[in-house]
Amino acid sequence: MAAPGAPRPNSNTNNHPSQPPPPNYNPNSNPNSIAYNLSNLNLNPPPSMPNSGSTPSLLGQPPNFPSSAPLPGVPSVSPPFSRPGPPPGVLPRPAVPPSGPPQSTLPPNLAPFRPTGTPIGQPAPFGYRAPPGSIPLLTGSNVPPSSGAPPPGAFPSSGLPSGPVVSAPPPPGTRPSTPSPPLTTGPLLPHSSASSVFVSNGPPSFTSGALPGGPRFPPASSASKPPVGPPPTMGFAGATPETPTMHSLVGSPAIAAPPPGTPLQPAPPFSAPPQGVPPPPGSYGSPTWPRHPGQVAPPPPIPGSVQPPRMFGMTPQPLPNQSMTAIPVLGQTGAPVSGTSKVDLNQIPHPIPSSSPMLYETLQGNQANPPPPATSDYIVRDTGNCSPRYMRCTISQIPCTADLLTASGMQLALLVQPLALPHPSEEPIQVVDFGESGPVRCSRCKGYINPFMKFIDQGRQFICNLCGYTDETPRDYRCNLGPDGRRRDADERPELCRGTVEFVATKEYMVRGPMPPVYFFLIDVSMNAVQTGATAAACSAISQVISDLPEGPQTMVGIATFDSTIHFYCLKRALRQPSMLVIPDVQDVYTPLQTDVVVQLSEGRQHLEVLLETIPTMFKKNGTPAESSFGAAVQAAFLAIKSSGGKVLVFQSVLPSIGLGSLSAREAEGRTNISARQKEAHKLLQPADKTLKTMAMEFAEYQVCVDVFITTQTYVDIASISVVPRTTGGQVYYYYPFSAVSDSAKLYNDLRWNVTRPQGFEAVMRVRCSQGIQVQEYHGNFCKRTPTDVDLPGIDCDKTIMVTLKHDDKLQDGSECAFQCALLYTTVYGQRRIRLTTLSLPCTSMLSNLFRSADLDTQFACFLKEAAHKIPSSPLLQVREQVTNLCISILLSYRKFCATVTSSGQLILPEALKLLPLYTLALMKSTGLQSDGRIDDRSIWINYVSYLSTPLAIPLVYPRMVAIHNHGPKDKDESLVPPVIPLSSDHVNDDGIYLLENGEDCLVYIGNSVDSNILQQLFGISSPNEIPTQFVLQQYDNPLSQKLNDVVNEIRRQRCSYLRFKLCKKGDPSGALFFSYLVEDKSPSGPSYVEFLVHVHREIQMKMSSS
């Protein structure tokens, strides 16, 4: 158990005392409580009450475990973290990143999510029911474990525990390998088999994704799960619902863990599983064990094993398996029946961040290893399957039939991010050059050679793993097979032993020479843009970014400005000064000679710099029309670089009101016409007409990628404008309301990241699947002209494409189903490459396997993307209903077919998906699904989601919140980012300062009674009343400020995004904004978390009874 406990790791747990809950899995709720839960749930929302009181305190103190535990672990890991590119942060950057801290940070993230708040807050309510008796245990145990967490760090230690755990795993049988692993990492190892598990331990720590963390664990070491049981926290809760104190998670960072620790651990069942953190081992172990067996194996990692769902109140314990995996149920614990009322909030599943990176092998024992949560921190070793960063599937096992899939209620889809940033400690992708003949391919389906192609007949032939066709091996590619049936040279050839490789493309793959990198900047200089400083900000950003453009003789640049006309600039060196070429016709656009306006960077640099300095004043001085011709300008820029293709970066400030593709202020019209508005509200989210779409298709055809930076103070009809970047593989950046003071730095950093991030041009992507499965549709930012391929004039590391799949035949149980994504692209250095990503997953015909191997992060990302996709075309109510129904139907399916037990009072959640309700709720409360938001805000949200990567999907709807008022010096090992706090107002105190970020925006909430000293140190103001509306984060010479900056920089690094800051205070619209992000609260936009669970449970009950 102990081992298991580890997983939970604590880190999470530690971090947040409260976190423990995450561990979720373990259910430690009190049996009783659970039972009642349901009922209670309904009844009481209040739970919080009790907590509340406690809560605060918690924050303050308690949570020892969490923090402490995790941290340790983390540190070790963390180092790896620092990401190369991302750190956009200007000034900031340097900041800590490198150091261990980062890690810590990560963890924090994790932490934040889940655990923190919740657990504590709501003491009683849910316990995970898991361990029956355990409540006490749980609490105690959990904590301890968590505290134990440290163990995680110390793998070794865990090792032992793990052992146990391991054993558990065995059950699952799936991974034999596991054992060994354990050793290595200790806790992790155990999981090894369930790699994920380990990960979990680790992961929790690392991944910021923390959220998932919880879940992950489970997978990893199923066994472990139990231990940690995450629930520890829960446990607490459960145990003592009341014990807020215990929970005091918050405070916890400190040490809390220990105390509870030990004993409780057992409880951990929930959480534990995942992380089977060693520490707890002992304690946990035992308790958990029972279940573990089941769990262990099953968890994600093991395909075979069955997973038990988690129940709300009760755990499904019955089945060993299930129990193991399963998890967390929400229980309404507490309340035993009486209903009194409370739902033990501590037992509600929350994400648990992991604290340290875990090691993940993609293929273990020839079996696909379920991936760690996308949001966690992990280091991948590519052992045959591709890294989950590049491609991950919603379910790590493929249902054999369409019926099975339908029954599960889940969807089958891939999230492909072909150029994703690797972890710095991962091996770089190897480049293979086949010479003139090009890569070996299946002659029937054109699939590329990959590790899953089977060589037969002494290597003379190979069987395609995609279409099953038997091909002759090209003569010079032959090699004998070893006794194991593999080619003897398999390990030396990356294409035969790696899930991801790059091939050098031959002439056959080019219709022309690889294009040079061409950057064309377009700046709005209409009156508004000039007056608001947007023009100046854009010019200054470009000017700074020029030096970051790829060096080389091939790099070409061009620049143009536009208002009611378009102004190109001739940058030829022959001229003594740049000359402006005005294109007055914005209806029927044309351009100067390309050679005049697009020049080699080296040739044009001087003129360009001068020009960028002059532009803002030039237009200010001469006056400039109020109108802006976006469409025409983009078209003109396109014409200017049509022959080569390239990137167009547009800085737009107002609604394009003139010329080609001009738009009208539809929003205002919609407002005046109320009846139409309600009926047709979603139409405003659709492009106004087809002009821009048609243009964009043409751009894509000529490999022109458009990015739009919108720096505005008014409605600009993003729904229409965004069509261009979406179709051309670009993206929209939105600064609203734009402030030259506070947004300039972000603009620069966004631009810089835009041009420096790993990226490719003139790309074509296709995903091939094994027979039986076929691609249904692609979603993302690209242009589709043929049914099979997507054209990406530009593709970069941030862009993700969702590929939905469908069955066209039955699959063989036990066989493997492969997915291969081939991306043909040109690097910024002008090399033509094929990036090949192959993922092979086992097929299953058991529903329980599906649930166990469900990948919550990926599923949710799909969920999110599909919802976003539907918003513009269907009424909002319908979309919201669909979202809820999807969640309910999955849970219903699980309840119906997998959960063995069941008291009607329990809400049973599959371990892997236990956070689904929470995320679903958060999604419903997100900007895109709110009817009262600004149209542009919703459009930008939809647009952002369309290319959002999996690790960022969850933070978008369920942001990370941390307290920044009280972190003093910490141990080196600690994670940089403070523990995560659940998104509930119960955790927000008046004397605190909180930072909440979703990957794009960052809100800093300042309570009304914050110590003015702190304010002075952090922001240079003495009272909350002085909060400036335009905030620029500055570094002052004091540790607190420095720490804040470090934290912020770490977050920026993790998100690859320079956050947009806003200071919020109570009683101000900004405060309302902040609170609108606290999704667990009841708000006008939706029920509280508890209420939602109750609602879900009811629905399920109704459906159960009706069926």
Partner 1 sequence: MDFIELEAIEGLRWSWNSWPASKPECSALIVPLSVMCTPLMQSSELPILTYDPLLCSQCGAVLNPYARVDYTSRIWYCPFCYAKNPFPRSYSGIGETNLPAELFPTYSTVEYAPGRKIPSPRANPGGPSLNSKHNWANGLSSTSLASMASFSSSSLSSLGGDLRGLGPAFVFVVDACTAEEELRALKNELLLVVEQLPENALVGLITFDSMVRVHDLGFSECLRVVLLHGDRELSSEQTQQFLGVTHIKQQYLGKAPVIQKQGFLLPVSECEFNITTTIEEIHSSVQAMLGHRPQRCTGTAILAALGLLEGCLINTGSRIMVFTSGPATRGPGIVVDTDFRNAIRNHRDLVNGHAPYYSKSSSFYQRVSQRLSDASIVLDVFALSLDQVGAAELKGPVESSGGFMMLGESFESSQFRKCVRHIFNRDEEGNLKMYFDATIEIVTTKDVKICGALGPCVSLQRKNNLVSKNEVGEGGTYMWKLGTLTSKTCFAFFFQVSDEQKVQPGSAFSIQFITRYRYGNMGIRKRVTTAARRWVGSHSPEIAAGFDQEAAASVMARLAINRAEKCQARDVIRWLDDGLVSFASKFGDYVQEDPSSFRLSSNFSLYPQFMYYLRRSQFIDVFNSTPDETAFFRLMLNREGVVGSLIMIQPTLLEYSFDGPPIPVLLDVRSISPDVILLFDSYFHVVIHYGSKIAQWKKLGYDKDPNHENLRKLLEAPELDAEQLVAGRIPAPKIIKCDQHGSQARFLLAKLNPSVTHNSTYTNGSDIIFTDDLSLQVFIDHLQGLAVQS
Q: Where do contacts with partner 1 occur on this chain (CB under 8 A)?
A: 565, 567-569, 574-585, 588, 590, 592-593, 611, 614, 617-618, 621-622
**561 or 985, CB closer to partner 1?**
561
- Contact indicator for 10, 230 with CB cutoff of 8 Å: no
Q: Where are the beta strands (DSSP E) in 318-387?
A: 358-361, 363-364, 367-368, 378-381
CA distance 223 to 170: 9
Those residues with Cβ within 8 angstroms of residue 609's Cβ, 6 or more apart along the chain or in another chain: 543, 546
Minimum distance from residue 572 beta carbon to partner 1 (Å): 8
**628 or 889, CB closer to partner 1?**
628
Minimum distance from residue 610 beta carbon to partner 1 (Å): 9
Minimum distance from residue 603 beta carbon to partner 1 (Å): 15
Minimum distance from residue 633 beta carbon to partner 1 (Å): 14
Minimum distance from residue 642 beta carbon to partner 1 (Å): 15
- Contact indicator for 727, 625 with CB cutoff of 8 Å: no
Q: Which pair of tokens denotes residue 464?
A: 């395609």
What is the gyration radius of the CA atoms in the chain, in angstroms? 28
Minimum distance from residue 543 beta carbon to partner 1 (Å): 16
- Contact indicator for 376, 204 with CB cutoff of 8 Å: yes
**590 or 829, CB closer to partner 1?**
590
**480 or 606, CB closer to partner 1?**
606
Q: Which residue has the tokens 């659940």?
A: 982
**510 or 580, CB closer to partner 1?**
580
**88 or 592, CB closer to partner 1?**
592
- Taking the CA of residue 870 as centre, how many other CA atoms within 13 Å lie in the half-sphere pointing to its CB? 16
Minimum distance from residue 1079 beta carbon to partner 1 (Å): 52
Those residues with Cβ within 8 angstroms of residue 895's Cβ, 6 or more apart along the chain or in another chain: 309, 902, 908, 1100, 1104
**12 or 591, CB closer to partner 1?**
591
Phi-psi region of 552 (alpha: psi -120 to 50; beta: other; left: phi over 0): left
**475 or 576, CB closer to partner 1?**
576
Residue 1004 identity: V
**582 or 1102, CB closer to partner 1?**
582
Minimum distance from residue 575 beta carbon to partner 1 (Å): 6
CA distance 1053 to 208: 11
- Taking the CA of residue 35 as centre, how many other CA atoms within 13 Å lie in the half-sphere pointing to its CB? 10
CA distance 295 to 428: 35
Minimum distance from residue 597 beta carbon to partner 1 (Å): 10
Minimum distance from residue 553 beta carbon to partner 1 (Å): 21
CA distance 139 to 161: 19
**617 or 1012, CB closer to partner 1?**
617
- Neighbouring CB atoms inside 10 A of 827's CB total 18
- Neighbouring CB atoms inside 10 A of 80's CB total 21
**594 or 831, CB closer to partner 1?**
594
Minimum distance from residue 608 beta carbon to partner 1 (Å): 12
Those residues with Cβ within 8 angstroms of residue 712's Cβ, 6 or more apart along the chain or in another chain: 534, 652, 653, 654, 735, 736, 737, 738
**574 or 674, CB closer to partner 1?**
574
**621 or 679, CB closer to partner 1?**
621
Minimum distance from residue 558 beta carbon to partner 1 (Å): 14
Per residue, the 3-state secondary structure of 988-1009, as one string, reads CCCCCEEEEECCCEEEEEECCC
Q: Which of 61, 64, 43 lies closest to 233 in space, CA to CA?
A: 64
The pairing of beta strand 579-583 with beta strand 566-570 = antiparallel
Q: Which pair of tokens denotes residue 1005?
A: 């909430």
Minimum distance from residue 641 beta carbon to partner 1 (Å): 17
- Contact indicator for 895, 851 with CB cutoff of 8 Å: no
